[in-house]
């Protein structure tokens, strides 16, 4: 079964309107929570039961994350939605904002209610102008309908929502850089601890979740945690949006149950372009190590299976590469991205990403030296696990992944000063 959660209304006419959303039961959960003054613990327990894990990349259990908030402590608290969606290969949150903005609004309000926040921010990637306008329009609708704002539906509960359009830096997707950016500062990750749950936006306790995570909440609470869990498989509950791109016939977003075999997803995406042979797949966005095609064909799309195969589900961004792809060139592109996007505050990432990028480029350009492949492995290992935020790892992992599975291609580049793939083709 596809499209059961965030894409539930995708087939309907103008699914983004309040009217359509409400026609399929939208905001009923919110109203019920308000009416019954549902205890926060109950909501959190339901989430824990659902097995929902963060859809932003790290896969942290959402119920557990919410339980860290000091919700009864006095003072302001915030819920922040991460719609920065900057990871190359990821474009699912964009479509949630475009086609199901009310699910996100409802999810954010429920989150705010649960963690004791009276205000929320949705941080939208700078290039997402159309989704931004759509989300803003949805906020207006919800506010006009009295679902959002002061003393909502006479319940005594108040909640307001603000949108913040980013400036176009990938690093602002990292949750603490995102907070800095909302505060009007340069987007630069903060060192953790303290974690946002104790010192977050404007120094107040804050929970940050991905768009897809939050947009899944209303249905989970409507149908129960067990329902969601059982869509997927144990420890990998629910359905997940996969953004499939690359050498397939029908690139796009597919919402499928966790645990669906990759082969099935590939089929949904129309199979390989020109019937070409599958060479490699980046399963979770450009920061996750690539896997050879034949390995992927035996993998199921869930956190545990992909981890077992040596990569990560990440944000569910599946980049498919066929036999015409030069892996060195692909890596050069990826390494350049992280080099450009490093915020530059911590040493291994600031200095190391540029080093990696230059060496990969050198190999790509036929100027590689015999020691370069080991140098790449060594430098990426020196970055990994030693930086302030995950960008350092994100830059390092693709390098070791690509070399691990396709070392011969790198070696060919170094030895022959040209590309193995194009040599084979001509």
Partner 1 sequence: MVNIQINGKMLEVENGAMVIEAADEAGIKIPRFCYHKNLSIAANCRMCLVDVEKAAKPLPACATPVTEGMIIHTQSPKAIAAQKSVMEFLLINHPLDCPICDQGGECELQDVAMGYGDDVSRYSEKKRVVANKNLGPLINTDMTRCIHCTRCVRFGEEIAGIKELGMTGRGEHAEIGTYVAKTVSSELSGNVIDLCPVGALTSKPFRYSARAWELRQFDSIAPHDCLGSNIHVHTRQDKVMRVVPKDNEAINETWLSDRDRFSYEGLNSEERLQSPMVKYNGEWQETDWDTALIAAVDGLKNIVASAGADNIGMLMSPSATLEEMFLSQKLMRALGCHNIDHRLRQQDFRDQDNAPVFPWLGQSIENLEQVDAALLIGSNLRKDQPIAGHRIRKAAIADAKIMFINPVDYEFLFPVAEKIITDPRQMGKELGAVAKALIEVAGVTAPEGLKALLENVVPTEQHKLIASNLSNANNATIILGLSAHTNPDFSTLRALASLVAEMANCTIGYLTDGANSSGGWLTGAIPHRTHQQEKVSSKNLNALEMLRSGLKAFVLQGIEPEKDCADHALALNAMEQAEFVVALSMYKSESLLSEANVLLPVSPFTETSGTFVNVEGCWQSFNAVVEPLGDSRPAWKVWRVLGNLFNVDDFDYLSSDEVRDEVHSFAGSVTADNKIAWKIPNALQNNVDGVVRIVDTSIYSIDPIVRRAPSLQQTADARIPAIHIGEELATRIGLMDADQALVRQGNGQVTLPVIIDDRLPKDSVLIPPCEMGETYLGYESSVVELEKI
Ligand X SMILES: Cc1cc2nc3c(=O)[nH]c(=O)nc-3n(C[C@H](O)[C@H](O)[C@H](O)COP(=O)(O)O)c2cc1C
Give the binding site for ligand SF4 (CB under 6 A). Answer: 171, 189, 342-346, 349-350, 387-389, 391-392
Say how far apart CA 247 and CA 241 lie, in whole Å.
Answer: 19
Q: Which distant-in-sequence residues (6+ apart) come within 8 Å of 297 by Cβ?
A: 262, 263, 278
The reply to whether 86 sits near ligand X by the rule CB under 6 A is yes
Say how far apart CA 201 and CA 208 lie, in whole Å.
Answer: 10
Residue 177 CB, nearest distance to ligand X (Å)?
A: 8
Residue 19 tokens read as 């009217």
Residue 116 CB, nearest distance to partner 1 (Å)?
A: 25
Whether omega before 194 lies within 30 degrees of 0, making that bond cis, reads yes
Give whichever of 213 and 387 is closer to partner 1, judged by the CB atom.
387
The reply to whether 191 sits near ligand X by the rule CB under 6 A is no
| Coil/strand/helix, residue 52 | coil
The reply to whether 171 sits near partner 1 by the rule CB under 8 A is yes
* Residues 188-247 within binding reach of partner 1 (CB under 8 A): 191, 193
Residue 211 CB, nearest distance to partner 1 (Å)?
A: 24
Residue 88 CB, nearest distance to ligand SF4 (Å)?
A: 15
Give whichever of 66 and 338 is closer to ligand SF4, judged by the CB atom.
338
The reply to whether 286 sits near partner 1 by the rule CB under 8 A is no
| Coil/strand/helix, residue 31 | helix
> Which range touches partner 1 (CB under 8 A), out of 246-254, 267-275, 309-317, 352-360?
352-360
For residue 35, CA distances in Å to 8, 27, 44, 155, 289 come to 25, 12, 18, 7, 47
State phi, psi for 4 to the nearest 5 degrees: -105, -20
Residue 261 CB, nearest distance to partner 1 (Å)?
A: 31
- Residue pair 81/108 in contact (Cβ under 8 Å)? The answer is yes
Name the strands in the sheet holding 78-83, side by side, starting at the edge strand that comes first in the sequence.
Answer: 160-165, 119-124, 78-83, 206-210
Give whichever of 260 and 342 is closer to partner 1, judged by the CB atom.
342
- Using CB under 8 A, count the residues that bind partner 1: 28
* Residues 8-67 within binding reach of ligand X (CB under 6 A): 54-58, 60
* Residue 58 binds: one of partner 1, ligand X, ligand SF4, none (C-beta under 5 to 8 A by kind): ligand X
> Which range touches ligand X (CB under 6 A), out of 84-92, 110-118, 230-238, 344-352?
84-92
Provide the phi-psi class of 228: left if phi over 0, else alpha when psi is between -120 and 50, else beta.
alpha
The reply to whether 390 sits near ligand X by the rule CB under 6 A is yes
Q: Which residue has the tokens 């977050």?
A: 200
Which residues of this chain interact with partner 1, rule CB under 8 A? 169, 171, 186, 191, 193, 339-348, 350-355, 358, 375, 382, 385-388
């Amino acid at each position: 079964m596809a499209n059961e959660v965030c894409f539930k209304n995708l087939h309907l006419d103008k699914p983004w309107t309040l009217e359509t959303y409400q026609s399929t039961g939208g905001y009923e959960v919110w109203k019920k929570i308000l009416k019954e003054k549902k205890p926060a613990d109950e909501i959190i327990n339901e989430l824990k039961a659902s097995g929902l894990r963060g859809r932003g990349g790290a896969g942290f259990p959402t119920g557990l994350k919410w339980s860290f908030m000091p919700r009864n402590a006095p003072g302001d608290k915030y819920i922040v939605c991460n719609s920065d969606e900057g990871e190359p290969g990821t474009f699912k949150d964009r479509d949630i904002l475009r086609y199901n903005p009310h699910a996100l609004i409802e999810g954010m309000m429920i989150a705010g209610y649960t963690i004791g926040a009276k205000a929320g921010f949705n941080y939208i990637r700078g290039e997402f102008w159309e989704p931004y306008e759509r989300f803003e329009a949805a906020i207006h609708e919800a506010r006009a309908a009295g679902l959002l704002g002061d003393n909502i539906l006479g319940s005594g509960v108040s909640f307001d929502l603000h949108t913040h359009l980013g400036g176009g830096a990938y690093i602002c997707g990292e949750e603490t850089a995102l907070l800095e950016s909302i505060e009007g500062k340069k987007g630069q990750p903060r060192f953790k601890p303290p974690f946002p749950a104790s010192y977050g936006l404007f120094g107040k306790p804050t929970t940050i979740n991905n768009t897809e995570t939050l947009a899944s909440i209303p249905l989970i609470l409507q149908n129960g945690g067990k329902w969601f869990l059982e869509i997927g498989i144990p420890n990998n509950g629910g359905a997940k949006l996969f953004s499939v791109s690359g050498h397939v016939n029908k690139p796009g977003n597919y919402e499928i149950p966790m645990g669906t075999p990759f082969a099935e997803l590939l089929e949904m995406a129309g199979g390989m372009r020109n019937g070409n042979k599958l060479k490699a797949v980046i399963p979770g966005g450009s920061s996750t190590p690539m896997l050879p095609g034949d390995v992927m064909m035996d993998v199921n799309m869930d956190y545990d299976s992909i981890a077992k195969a040596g990569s990560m589900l990440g944000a569910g961004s599946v980049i498919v590469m066929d036999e015409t792809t030069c892996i060195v060139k692909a890596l050069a592109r990826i390494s350049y991205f992280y080099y450009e996007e490093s915020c530059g505050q911590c040493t291994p990432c600031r200095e190391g990403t540029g080093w990696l990028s230059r060496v990969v480029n050198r190999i790509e350009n036929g100027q590689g030296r015999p020691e370069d492949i080991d140098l790449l492995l060594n430098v990426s290992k020196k970055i990994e696990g030693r930086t302030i935020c995950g960008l350092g790892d994100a830059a390092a992992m693709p390098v070791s992944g690509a070399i691990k599975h396709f070392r011969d291609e790198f070696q060919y580049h170094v030895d022959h000063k040209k590309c193995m793939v194009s040599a084979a083709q001509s």
